[in-house]
Amino acid sequence: MQVSPCVERARPTVTTGQGECVQTVVRAWVNRAEVDAGKHPEGEGPLTTDERDELRRLRRENNRVEMERDILRKATAFFANESA
């Protein structure tokens, strides 16, 4: 490892040969662990990992339900025109 400026940040950080910002990555892991443990200083700040997973699942389900609704709406219009 060598000490060099990280491209994403304007402060010196420890980087590996692949150019990864190790300090930045570790800080992100620590922040995520604090949020998941409910110890984030901002209180009602970022979502926990479980909340993110649930939000992702609910968004997928919502997209599926909207698609089903649109299909049923088109089918209803088709059959209404056919019987008229």
Tens digit of pLDDT at every position of the chain (84 positions): 444 444 444 455 555 665 557 788 888 888 888 888 877 666 567 888 899 999 999 999 999 999 999 999 999 999 998 877
Residue 34 structure tokens: 């604090």
Q: What local confidence, expressed as pLDDT, does residue 23 receive? A: 82
2, 10 Cβ separation under 8 angstroms: no
**Local structure of 21: helix, strand or coil:** strand
Q: What local confidence, expressed as pLDDT, does residue 41 receive? A: 62
Q: What local confidence, expressed as pLDDT, does residue 16 receive? A: 60
19 dihedral zone (left: phi>0; alpha: psi -120 to 50; beta): left
34, 48 Cβ separation under 8 angstroms: no
